[in-house]
Structure 1
Amino acid sequence: MATAPSGSVLVLTSPHDVTTDLVLRILAERRVPVVRLDPGPDLLAGAALTASYRTGDQSGTLRTPSRELDLTGVRSLWTRRPSPFEGPAGPDPADRRFAVSQSVWGVGGILASLPGAHYVNHPWNNRAAEHKPAQLAAAQRSGFPLPSTLITNDPDAAREFIACQTGGVVYKPLWNTPYKVHGQASQVWVREVHAHEITTAVASCPHLFQAKVEKAYDVRLTAVGNRLFAVRIDSPDLDWRRRQSLMECAPIAIPPQVARSVHAYLADFQLVFGAFDFAVTAAGQWYFLECNPNGQWAWQPASITDSIARAIADQLHKPPAV
């Protein structure tokens, strides 16, 4: 079994994540050692994770079928798109749920506590920054213009809010929860909503309603450390993600105030990476919509995609902290 050299980069993602390959090729060109792990399935298929803690000392190893990695020598950890923990197959659902829970807290805790590692992003910071209410509060603190937004499970409050927004209101889910209709996977897109559509079903859980921005176009801004990359998105759809084959993208300059607010937002959540979405009006006002701390980026024009990949590689290539 080979020993992974000190200063290795540890990447947590599924084997089907082709976006990761763009960055790993750059690291390979630079001769930066990389260990790729999908903790959920890999730890059920022969990989082993061990950590020891005692007064004045911490140690740990990750052993895969092909190599062994000293966790105290990890240069950086990139949390990309690891598969969810599913637990071992077995007849007892309670045992499986127990194993999944122990994996989330045990494996997650070990990998989130590597001494000296540079995180892109730290998984706990990712999780904190995924909550849309927290995003909106941080965006306010960072100086972004925001569309008026209401999060409520009160149908009357929702109807009143919609009635007060003369330009219309959209609904968007608070989390991209897997959803099926007649057994088929379905996506809940951002869509316009009217007061007469609000029923008592709103009381079943919080819903996010937001004033519709009269936008000229959308912008996706990808931040990697202090480097920012933005593309203008022209789409016939309210939610450009719905039919990406119909959208057009082109690089766009970033107003200085937007750049300052982006850096303030990243600092607020202690993020290295963030994928920001804006709606831009004809007057040039950039309205903050959301920030995915682990958003996709390889769909952008080739020049932007390559620049983002190199910026992430630069982050992962940073010298280990002393």
Structure 2
Amino acid sequence: MSTVPARGVLIVSEADDLHAAAMVATLREQHAMTPLRWDLRDFPREPGSFRLGAAGVERSLAGLAGLDEVGSVWWRRPHPSSVPAGVRADDNAYRQAECDAFVQGLLWSLGAQWINDPGNDRIAHRKIVQLDTARRAGCTVPDTLVTNDPDEAREFIETCGSRVVFKRTGTSRAEFSETRLVGTADLDRLGSIRWAPTTFQRYIDPECDLRVVWVDGQEWAVRIDSRAGAGRVDSRLDTSVDFVPTLLPAAVSKSLATLMGTLGLSFGVLDLRVGLDGEYYFLEVNPQGQFAYLEIKTGLPIFTSLANLLVYGDGAVSGW
């Protein structure tokens, strides 16, 4: 690991994000560094400027002293700018576009290490991109249909030869949407997917679930004993069962490395499921996924690993 720290760290996230707060504490305690934090919703209430001239470039955002000295950015959970609504919808759209273009351009023009690159992050959030890229990377992916055609969905469910789950196709900050098994009542409501394309997937009966925090090639894998709890369909929020650090088979690690490299992600939280057939199934990757509870449950030094990546460009942790 390099011993030369980055020039400075910027965390772009919600003001009340607990992961961002924990990273600030980690950087202070382990690297004697106080990072900058910015919630994009503070703009345009707080002023900002970009100046370019013979003397070079100068960026400023109120409350972010030293923005031009930032060498590493954690693009954690960015919001759009928060523009007060006016009378005319066209005026609102114009102001929103101008504010987003300014603050995003101001930050994205920084010659910094990005975790993750905003463009790659945006593309990787698309579930269809993830699934197809995972398949090409050598991951095993359950039979899947993403559609807004009720007839296609009904045929898939009837011919799958197994139980089928359904889940949302997009991502947002709306209420958490649980993965659920398709039931009789759901079949009666298939017409509603016309206006909300839905992901249908062959249900994999689990031996266990795995949540893997990827930090630039460093895998922090946790085995979740999902068969013992109430969340066998969707174990992500079931913290009542055992969480145990584990290692992945070499072939699975190789496929995940190919997947993350192709997506251009240096960080992500991956969900895998080990089926009763012993196969490791890829379910999804969240470039801004939650992981604090994994460290709390297992003691794995995930925040330390990510802090090392932000400061040194290397997520390795001594002794692990």
Q: How does 1:1-322 map to 2 (within 5 A)?
A: 7-29=7-29, 30-41=31-42, 43-52=43-52, 59-65=57-63, 68-71=65-68, 73-88=69-84, 90-115=86-111, 117-177=112-172, 186-194=175-183, 196-197=187-188, 199-233=190-224, 234=226, 235-237=229-231, 238-241=233-236, 243-302=237-296, 304=298, 307-318=301-312
Which secondary structure state, in structure 1, belongs to the residue aligned with residue 293 of structure 2?
coil
Partners of 1:89 and 1:69 lie apart in 2 by 31
Partners of 1:174 and 1:53 lie apart in 2 by 45
Provide closer, same or farther for how the CA distance between residues 13 and 214 of structure 1 changes in structure 2, counting only shifts above 3 A. same
Alpha-carbon shift at residue 246 of structure 1 (Å): 3.1
One-letter amino acid matched to 1:50:
F
Partners of 1:198 and 1:89 lie apart in 2 by 36
Which secondary structure state, in structure 2, belongs to the residue aligned with residue 60 of structure 1?
strand
Q: Which runs of 5+ in 2 are unaligned?
A: 1-5, 314-320
Which secondary structure state, in structure 2, belongs to the residue aligned with residue 278 of structure 1?
strand
Give the paired residue count: 302
Partners of 2:206 and 2:18 lie apart in 1 by 32
Q: 2:28, 2:34 within 8 Å by CA — same for their partners in 1?
A: yes
Provide closer, same or farther for how the CA distance between residues 191 and 22 of structure 1 changes in structure 2, counting only shifts above 3 A. same
Identity, in percent, stands at 29
Provide closer, same or farther for how the CA distance between residues 313 and 301 of structure 1 changes in structure 2, counting only shifts above 3 A. closer
Q: 1:75, 1:318 within 8 Å by CA — same for their partners in 2?
A: no
TM-score by length of 1: 0.85
Partners of 2:288 and 2:53 lie apart in 1 by 30
Partners of 2:85 and 2:127 lie apart in 1 by 34
Alpha-carbon shift at residue 198 of structure 1 (Å): 5.0
One-letter amino acid matched to 2:195:
S
Partners of 2:282 and 2:94 lie apart in 1 by 40
Q: Which residue of 1 aligns with 2:318?
A: none
One-letter amino acid matched to 1:69:
G
Partners of 1:167 and 1:128 lie apart in 2 by 31
* 1:117-176 Cα deviation digits (max 9, x unpaired): 100101111100000000001101111001000111221111111111122111110013
Q: 1:298, 1:305 within 8 Å by CA — same for their partners in 2?
A: no
TM-score by length of 2: 0.86
RMSD (Å), alpha carbons: 2.5
- Which shifted more, 101-110 or 44-53? 44-53
Q: 1:87, 1:97 within 8 Å by CA — same for their partners in 2?
A: no
* 1:73-111 Cα deviation digits (max 9, x unpaired): 321111112343220354554433322222222211221
